[in-house]
Structure 1
Amino acid sequence: MTFTQELWASAEEVYAEILAHPFLRGLTDGSLPRPAFRHFVQQDSHYLRDYARALAVCAAKAPTDADVRAFADDAVGAIAAEQGMHAEFTAELGEGPEQPVLPTTLAYTSYLLATVYSGSFAEGLAAVLPCYWIYARVGEALLEKSSPDPLYARWIAAYGAEEFQGVVRRVLDLADRIGPELSDSERARAARHFATTARYEWMFWDAAWRGEAWPVPTAD
């Protein structure tokens, strides 16, 4: 079993639950309420700022110069996505109340940053990988159906596009390149991180679907 096969096996059931989630079903049939999508876009903007930082740490620990450049480029790309695609979506959705960083987003990004800073490169890679890989798989799966809603169709097309799929294949190839060098214990830790952040991916969509808010008022 390759390293990526081992990682995917640790989260295959989670991925099935993601595809079945009403948020994603609502994207493809056009029934997703706009407030749920606005919630997702706002929290994704918060998320991507810290995800870019996590990718930058992966770049610092990467094994080759080419890998350093690739992760650094991906970190820049995450910020560009936040500023570009999200600004476009926000303009079309209309101005809504600005959300603070909400519980699921904060938990997810805190876990990511703790893992990439304290763990090995392989552990950090495994932690950031579900955001690449699950979005690519979701984009690919939803692209055939697309959506009758043009806004949702654009979101689906962005992640189903060959350009994004190629980026993800590059990261998967890197994972399989380093996999044979890892000890059994490090592979097991990496699989646990991958499974955990895959669950956070499900939780992120679910938080938008539920309209998650802090259970008690915050100072800000």
Structure 2
Amino acid sequence: MKLTDELWAAIEPVHARILDHPFLAGLTDGTLPRAAFRHFVVQDSHYLRDYARALAVCAAKAPGEDEVLAFANDAVGAIAAEQEMHADFLHAFGEDAAAAAAEPVLPTTRAYTSYLLATAYGGSFAEALGAVLPCYWIYARVGEELLRRSSPDPLYAKWIAAYGGDEFQAVVRRVLDLTDRIGEELSAAERRRVVEHFTTTSRYEWMFWDAAWQGETWPV
């Protein structure tokens, strides 16, 4: 079995729960409260800064020059997304990125990024790849599904288009091809660790959308 087949089989129930989440339903029918989307954008800005660091660690651990370059470019792209697309969204709320950056990193974001960075720094390249992969793959699958429906709200339609479009889909295919190549060389034990990390961060993806939907704050 290809590693990507094993990985996706492990998180199919999580993916189904994500597609059924009211946050995503609200994106496509335009009923998502602006406060929930703003929560998502602000926390995603915090998340992407640490995700870029995790990708940079992947670049440092990558087995070949092509992979080093690809992950380094993806790290730059994650920062660019935080600076450009999120700034546009915040501008639509009449705010600027500096004010949003001063807001606290909330519990789910902190937990997700802490796990991501700990795995990237402490594990092998394959384990780091497993941890960062859901943010590529689940967003591509979600974007692809949502693009069929888009949204009557121009702001939400713009977000959907960014992840459902051909450019992002091509990036994800490149990472999935690498995952399968790496998978052929893994021991059974390391393969299990990759599946574990991939499953864990996939669950965090669901939690991230749910946190925005619930308006999560620090309880104390």
TM range (shorter): over 0.9
Partner residue, 2:114: 110
* TM-score normalised according to structure 2 size: 0.97
Distance apart, 1:79 and its partner CA: 0.2
Structure 2 CA distance, aligned partners of 1:117 and 1:7? Answer: 21
The equivalences for 1:171-210 within 5 A come to 171-210=175-214
Give TM-score, length-normalised by structure 1: 0.97
119, 122, 127: which one pairs with 1:123? 127
What is the Cα-based RMSD across aligned positions, in Å? Answer: 0.9
Could you tell me which runs of 5 or more consecutive residues in structure 1 were left unpaired when the two chains were aligned.
Answer: none
- What percent identity do the matched residue pairs reach? 75
Report runs of 4+ in structure 1 exceeding 6 Å deviation: none
Residue 71, structure 1, aligned to residue 75, structure 2: no
Q: CA deviation at 1:95?
A: 2.7
The amino acid that maps onto 2:5 is: Q
The number of residue pairs the alignment matches comes to 216
Residue 22 of structure 1 pairs with residue 22 of structure 2: yes
Distance in 2 between the 1:46 and 1:167 partners?
A: 22
Q: Deviations over 1:50-80 (max 9, x none)?
A: 0000000000000100000000000000000
Equivalent residue for 1:134, pick from 122, 134, 138: 138
The answer as to 2:104 corresponding to 1:100 is yes
1:147 is paired with a residue whose SS is coil
Equivalent in the alignment of 2:42: 42
Structure 2, unpaired ranges of 5+: none
- CA drift of 1:171 comes to 0.2
What is the alpha-carbon distance in structure 1 between the residues aligned to residue 185 and residue 24 of structure 2?
37
Distance 1:104 1:150 in 2: 28
> Hey, what's the Cα distance between the residues in 1 that align with 2:161 and 2:151?
10
